[in-house]
Structure formats: C-alpha cells, structure tokens
Amino acid sequence: MSSEDDRGPGRRSPLKSLYGASLQQAQSRAGRWLGHQAREIIPRRHQWRRDLIAGLPGAISSVPDGMASSVLAGVGPAHGLYASFAGPIVGGLTSSTRLMVVTTTSAAALAAGSALSGYDRGERSSAMLLLTVLAGLLMLAAALLGLGRYIRFVSYSVMLGFLTGVSVNMVLGQLPDLAGVDAHGDFAAAKTWNLLGRLDEVDWPTLATGVAALAILVLLAQTRIAVASSLVALAVPTVVVLATGASSVAKVQDAGRIPHGLPAPQLPDLSLLSPGLVAGAFAIAALVLVQGAGVAEAVPNADGTRSSVRRDFVAQGLGNVAAGLFRGQPVGGSVGQTALNVSAGSVSRWGGIWSGVWMAIILLALSGIVGQVAMPTLAAVLIYAGAGSIHPREIVAVARAGRISAVAMFATFVAVLVLPVAQAVGIGVLASLALQLRQDSLDLRVVRLQRDASGHVVETSVPETLAAGDVVVLDAYGSLFYAGVKTLQRRLPTPSGTASHAVVVLRLRGRTTLGATFLKMVGDYARSLEAAGARLHLSGVDPGLVERWRADGTFQRLSGVRIEPATPVLGESTHAAVLAAHGAQGDDAQGDPQDDSTAE
C-alpha cells in the first residue's frame, strides 16, 4: 500500500476525502439545525411581555396541581412542586408543539403511585427519582426508534375508557381524605367501600374544610377569577383552619416536609430498580406520549407548521429526566395546563417556560406557606378535577357506536378501577390491537366486477362456487392483513368438481404491502383451484412488490398464480388478465372491466 506522502504533497486518499466531505456535510446540517432551534427558542421582542404575564397564572395553578399530583402518587408534596418548575422549562425549550406545557398530570401520577406501591414509605422518595428518570429515558428511546407512528393504533374508545377510569379513581381515591378517615383497600373503589362502612369515624372539621373548598371551586368556575379558583379553594379554608386551631385537620407538611428553596440535582439510586418499577416506567411513558399527542392535536402551532411527534417525544423525555434529577415526579403534556396557558394570553413556547420560572420563584419565597395548606382542600381540588374530566356525552356516543367499541371502552375502564395502572395500560393496548384486528375483518368487502347491458362496469355479489369456464373478477375493499385475510379467504368462490378452465382474477391495485398471511392464503387457494382445473390471476400488483417477490423467491411459492403488474393506465392489467384467461387477445368477454376507474 502506498502512503499519503507517496501521492505527492497536497493529495489525499479517496477514503479520507469522502470522510472529510461527509463530516463537513454533517457539521453543516447540524449547524443549520442548531441555528433553526436557536431562532425558534429566542423570544420575540413583541411577545416576551405577554408570555411573561401569561406564565404567572400557570405557576399559581401549578401549586395546588403539583401538590395534588404528589398526593395521587403517594409521596410528599415537594415532588410535584419540583416537577412543576423543571418540566415546563426543559420541555418548553425543546417541544415542537410550542404552546404545550410539560408538567404533572393525573394519569402519570396515578401510574407512578401504582409503580411505587411495593416500596416502603421511606424508600418512595428515592424510588420516585429513579422512576421519573427511567420513564424519561424510555420516552427518548421511543423517539429514537420512531415509535410515534404507532400512537394512531390506540383507539379512541380504549383511551376514553382509560381516562374515564383515571378520573373515577381520582374521585374515589380522595373521598377518605375528604372525610378524614384512614380507609383501607387495594384500590380506590375498595377504599371507598371501606369508608362507607366507617362513616361513624368521619372527622367533621376535615369534612367541612373539604366541602368548603369544593363549594368555592363550583362557585368560582364561571367567574372572571376562575383561573385562580384552585388557589382560592386552598387558601380560604386553610386560613379558617389556622384561625380556629382545628388540630384534627391534616396539613401538607404532615405528609412530608417542603425544603426551602430549590433542590440540588441528584442522581438516582440504581439499587432500588425492580421489575415493578420498570413496568411502571413503561406504563408512564405510554400514557405521557399518548396524552402529549392529544395536546398537539388540540393546540396546533399558530403559524401552521406541523408538530413533530418525535420532537414532542424528546421534549417530554428530557422534561422527565430533568424533573427526576431535581427530585420531581413524572411529567407530560398537560391538556389542562396548556389550555390555561393559552387562555392566559400565551403566544409562544415562552408562556410555558415562564410558568416554570415563576414556579421556581414561588418555591424560593413561599415554601413555608405551602406547608400549611390543609390536606382536605387538596382532596377537594382532585375530586373537582376528576369529576370535570368525565364526559358522559362522549361515553354515550362511543357506547352507541357499536358493540366492539363499547366492550373495549368498558373493559379498559374496569381494568383501571381494579388493577394496577401498568397492567391496565397493557390491557388497553391489547384491547386496541384486538379492536383493530376485529375491525379489519369486519370492514373487508369483496365484490365481483361485471359489465351490465349498457357496457358499464358494476359491482355484484361474489358467487359461492366457481363453475367450469367462469371468469370471475374480484375486488376487495379493506385491510388484507391478519384477520382481513381470513375474511377474504371465506368469501372467495369455492371451485366445484367441474371448474375446468375457470379463472379467478383478484384485483390488488394500490396495495404496496402484502404480508406473509396473504401470500400463504393465495398459494393455498391457487392450489385448490389448480386441483379443480381452474387458475388464479393477480392483477394490478405494485411493480415494487413484483420485484421483491422475484428477488426473495416468492414467485416459486406462487408458481400456480399468474401475476399482472400494475401500469399507469387504470384497468389495463385487469384487462390483460381477463384476455389471458380467455386465451385470446382482444376477446371482450363478460366480466372484463376495461377501466377500473369506474369501479372505484
């Protein structure tokens, strides 16, 4: 081999030249991307003041929301407060949905509480840190693997059942705290049942405090100060409790001390890792990513640019990693906080970022006051939020949409009520897949294409049997994967003992992918036809598929099938298949749809 010096001064090897050019191109692309990101992040001069003011109501409402989320998760209130400053800042800086606020959510809090249920109370705080970071890393992995495309397979009926179950759990789970009774049970409904048998133990000052907070929330809901209704519902009853010295009413500081100021970053304790925690992290990641996609649909970018599912995955993943390192709990795109952000006048991503900054200021200045908040008021806030998240009209609409949708919704709802959230998420995913497969099989429609007396191509019913000399042209509407293939197989005409010289032409125009299940079915059907003296033709097959089948040996497995590749002319390949079936060019026999466009 010759050295670089052998080629003379100033000459480089082709490999090094190619490497240098690739490196320069990568650096150029990275520079352009970073420049674009910087321009997106830098606040506009005419917008920053509106966003600064809009962020304050979000921060104020994050105080009760953050503490309430901690209650749902079964940890001290500091975790929700810390997450409410780290999540919005980091998530807001990186999301593609610019108005999305990444903060605590009820569903993620319930999932976190379920994942931590196996830990001793003294370990939960450290386990929460590990859980949150792990969930964030899973979200980043989902973005790297491009899993955003699979979100569309989570059906609306399953998601509605899940969210309704979460809302009901929120309400039922807080009733014991509202009444001041230490109820027992493995899940929220069981605790409520236990409470009903111990009504004589109700602490009346606690119940009065919670009911007063609920009344304030209801009364202020339609007023100009509705944005601050949660804060008022916390403050007014708490002041009354402190003024009257009602010692039986629990306070936030009783659930866990709130340190003054902001926490120092802390690495997770890997010794606390367990299969249950990993399963919980997967459940949280799935929930957060689906909810984030919902936020992107509800609040599109004002300039018309489309949100990137992958970038939103990254933003929520980074938000969770940051929240975990600052001892927070899981965060995600919040529909409620995003709506509040928009209604308060936010016009860019900085509305959410400023809400995180304002939250940090509140923690620095008012942490002592937060610890005095009466716990029944937090229960009232959660009950009000949970009840408001139940949508009876949508539930009725899904129930009336069909038996399959109703069963999927109800099954997921029941699973959320009686099972840990991680298992309920798994059941929801399985229900979505089952629903998809079932719909694929039901939605498939097979028709026969024939010419009528006027020469028009019309759709008619598929014959049950195939007689000698028949030429049957078929078209299929719907999915040709999995259950759809089985449905197609049942609807194909069965060759009789005298089906000699009969031909079935199956039109496949527009299908760019056909799976192994379909190919096996086609091979089996072609052999059954061949045994009866008939033949199968596939028309309109995508040329790319033909090339792949030729390369991977599929042609050998379909040796009894004649394949007519699609051409730019609609109906040409089907016409050729019919002519071949009749054994003569130009034979314009019945069943020959010369122009498929009339049949589509």
Q: For 218-268, what is each residue's pLDDT tens digit?
A: 998 888 877 677 778 888 999 999 999 888 888 877 766 666 778 889 999
What would the DSSP string read from start to end of 423-448? HHHHHHHHHHHHHHHHHHHHH-EEEE
For 153-180, what is each residue's pLDDT tens digit? 667 777 788 778 878 887 888 898 888 8
400 and 292 in one domain?
A: yes
For 426-467, what is each residue's pLDDT tens digit? 777 777 667 666 665 566 789 999 888 888 889 899 998 888
Task: Please identify, among 435, 459, 488, the residue that sits at the C-terminal boundary of a domain.
Answer: 435
Residues 421 and 413: their CA atoms lie apart, in Å, by: 11
Give this prediction's pTM. Answer: 0.62
With respect to residue 36, please indicate whether it lies within any of the assigned structural domains: no
With respect to residue 541, please indicate whether it lies within any of the assigned structural domains: yes
Domain that holds residue 240: 48-435
The whole-chain average pLDDT of the chain stands at 81
463 and 419 in one domain?
A: no
Task: Please identify, among 381, 407, 435, the residue that sits at the C-terminal boundary of a domain.
Answer: 435
254 and 183 in one domain?
A: yes
The CATH number of the domain holding residue 533 is 3.30.750.24
Residues 378 and 272: their CA atoms lie apart, in Å, by: 29
90 and 211 in one domain?
A: yes
386 and 334 in one domain?
A: yes
497 and 431 in one domain?
A: no
199 and 94 in one domain?
A: yes
With respect to residue 31, please indicate whether it lies within any of the assigned structural domains: no
Domains held by the chain: number: 2
238 and 178 in one domain?
A: yes
42 and 93 Cβ atoms separated by less than 8 Å: no
514 and 545 Cβ atoms separated by less than 8 Å: yes
Task: Please identify, among 418, 435, 452, the residue that sits at the C-terminal boundary of a domain.
Answer: 435
With respect to residue 259, please indicate whether it lies within any of the assigned structural domains: yes
Among 25-29, 249-253, 420-424, the range with the most confident prediction by mean pLDDT is 249-253
Residues 457 and 599: their CA atoms lie apart, in Å, by: 6
465 and 396 in one domain?
A: no
386 and 286 in one domain?
A: yes
For 348-361, what is each residue's pLDDT tens digit? 888 889 999 989 99
User: Two tokens at 318?
Assistant: 């980074």
With respect to residue 32, please indicate whether it lies within any of the assigned structural domains: no
